[in-house]
Amino acid sequence: MCLHSPKTTGFCILALVVLSPLNHSAAATFASAVVAYEPGLTSNALNPEAALGQPGLVAGEGTQFAGILSPFNPHYEADQIVQLGEGGSITLQLSRFAVTTTGTPEIGFFTNAGISDTSWPEGIAGDNLELPGATFGIDNALLEVSADGANWINLGIIRFDQPSSAFTNATSPYQSDTTGLIPADFGIPHNNALADYSGNDWSTMRGLLGNSAGGTWIDLDSTGLSRVGWIRLSLASDDNEDTQLSFELDAVSIASSATGGLVIPEPSVIAMLFTLTGLLARRRR
């Protein structure tokens, strides 16, 4: 999008430079590259690129089941979700650094966690979301973070239990027509615990989320790192042949208020930098 003319290229590079190191723009930033993927014991969704970029705003898009991404309607498609089985792991590079910032979690994880609708299609959560069947897709995984892609800080096993929600004003959690809907912001953390949704209807849940798109948010303050550019999720075997654990990842985002500079400029950006240097040199002559 920034490659049409030397003039446009200059603007793009200047924008990147101005935005560094902190980028407070409204648009959320996401994981941008798969560094490693080991599926583990799974035969499903072997498509790690599905975890890059932002979640699609509609689940089942293009099918008769198309409906907005909501706490009752998470993604399930192979082009949206990557799965880890037991022994699996995925390492992702973020597009920009998450800068450790007091007072806010920095990194959001969007999975296929969903809340079962006790009154379909109204969208009403059960009174106790810890009961079996009251939710689906909630899984644990080991989370590690890194400032350089080589040295890792272990944040332990996290329960990724927060659903996603793509629009702030949808009257139905399943509606297929997105006309007039306001997209939620994947760069806005929230403070909701899973229990906060208990017994609530869709309208109340929307209020709890505000402009946030949900997700499970992780605070980096305890890591001792000043910034994080890589994340790794791992699912250990439970050494039980009768169970088959899995973990499903949709996307990873960075809080807009904690978004730093580019992790590693892609080759095209380096090329643009050379172009800009050339332009500036020409102007000085």
- Segment near Ca ion (CB under 5 A); pick from 65-73, 231-239, 247-255, 259-267: 247-255
* Inter-CA distances, 273 with 1, 186, 270, 285, Å: 15, 29, 5, 19
Q: Does 139 bind Ca ion (CB under 5 A)?
A: no
Q: Does 250 bind Ca ion (CB under 5 A)?
A: yes
- Segment near Ca ion (CB under 5 A); pick from 86-94, 117-125, 169-177, 246-254: 246-254
Q: Does 83 bind Ca ion (CB under 5 A)?
A: no
Number of residues located near Ca ion, criterion CB under 5 A: 7
CB of 16 to Ca ion, least distance (A): 25
Contact 51, 87 (CB under 8 A): no
Contact 69, 200 (CB under 8 A): no
Facing residues of 234 across strands?
Answer: 89, 142
Residue of 251, 255, 263, 276 interacting with Ca ion (CB under 5 A): 251
CB of 75 to Ca ion, least distance (A): 6
Q: Strand, helix or coil at 158?
A: strand
- Segment near Ca ion (CB under 5 A); pick from 52-60, 146-154, 199-207, 233-241: 52-60
Q: Does 113 bind Ca ion (CB under 5 A)?
A: no
* Inter-CA distances, 238 with 87, 155, 234, 246, 256, Å: 9, 19, 12, 11, 36
Q: Is 55 or 114 the residue whose CB approaches Ca ion more closely?
A: 55
Q: Does 54 bind Ca ion (CB under 5 A)?
A: no
Q: Is 49 or 130 the residue whose CB approaches Ca ion more closely?
A: 49
- Segment near Ca ion (CB under 5 A); pick from 26-34, 161-169, 189-197, 244-252: 244-252
Helices (H) and strands (E) in the chain, counts: 3, 14
Instruction: Report the Cα 235 to chain-centroid distance in Å.
Output: 18
Structure tokens at 65: 């089941």
Contact 179, 68 (CB under 8 A): no
Q: Is 98 or 272 the residue whose CB approaches Ca ion more closely?
A: 98
Q: Does 253 bind Ca ion (CB under 5 A)?
A: no
Opening angle at CA 12, ends 98 and 255, nearest 5: 20
- Segment near Ca ion (CB under 5 A); pick from 2-10, 78-86, 151-159, 198-206: 78-86
Contact 149, 93 (CB under 8 A): yes
Residue of 86, 117, 139, 219 interacting with Ca ion (CB under 5 A): 219
Q: Does 248 bind Ca ion (CB under 5 A)?
A: no
For 49, other C-beta atoms within 10 Å of its C-beta total 12
Q: Does 266 bind Ca ion (CB under 5 A)?
A: no
CB of 81 to Ca ion, least distance (A): 6
H-run or E-run covering 121: none
Contact 229, 6 (CB under 8 A): no
Q: Strand, helix or coil at 138?
A: coil
CB of 51 to Ca ion, least distance (A): 6
Residues that bind Ca ion (CB under 5 A): 50, 55, 80, 219, 221, 250-251
